[in-house]
Amino acid sequence: MAKPSYLNFDNKNYKWNNDIDDRKYQESYRVDKGEQGVLMCQPYKNEILPYLKFKTPEIAKESSEKIYEIFLKSLEDNDFIGADMASKYLQIGFTRSRRYANYKGGQNMTKNMIIRNYKEEWDPKQ
């Protein structure tokens, strides 16, 4: 069996660095696709992550409204990185809450380990 890729992780050449203040050194920020970098980009991680909650629909709604406020404030302040990070946290909240709504325990596999087609099961009109 092949060795998992995380065992050979090259931290020195990884493009995200948790030690850099991306608000102070904005030129160091790297725009990336999807949710990459959200848990590394400081100080935004510490400011937004506490609001990322989605255990119940009510909590998720409150959380998304707060993160959206941060997004709008960042745009108002011309803080591109803050707006980008807030939008990524909104994306995380959506994908995680959707997963937990569709699958008990957040797993999209049955006991027989057959991958379920969540797109057929999800009705966006709900």
Question: What is residue 105's predicted lDDT score, i.e. its pLDDT?
Answer: 58
Tell me the range of 10-24, 86-100, 103-117 where mean pLDDT is highest.
Answer: 86-100
Q: Is the pLDDT of residue 122 over 80?
A: no
Question: What is residue 65's predicted lDDT score, i.e. its pLDDT?
Answer: 96
- Whether 34 and 28 have beta carbons less than 8 Å apart is answered as no
Which one is predicted more confidently, 54 or 103? 54
- For residue 87, tell me if it sits in a domain: yes
Cis peptide bond N-terminal to 50, omega within 30 = no
Range of the domain at 46: 33-121
Domain count of the fold of the chain: 1
- Whether 102 and 118 have beta carbons less than 8 Å apart is answered as yes
- For residue 43, tell me if it sits in a domain: yes
Question: What is residue 68's predicted lDDT score, i.e. its pLDDT?
Answer: 97
- For residue 77, tell me if it sits in a domain: yes
Which one is predicted more confidently, 113 or 34? 34
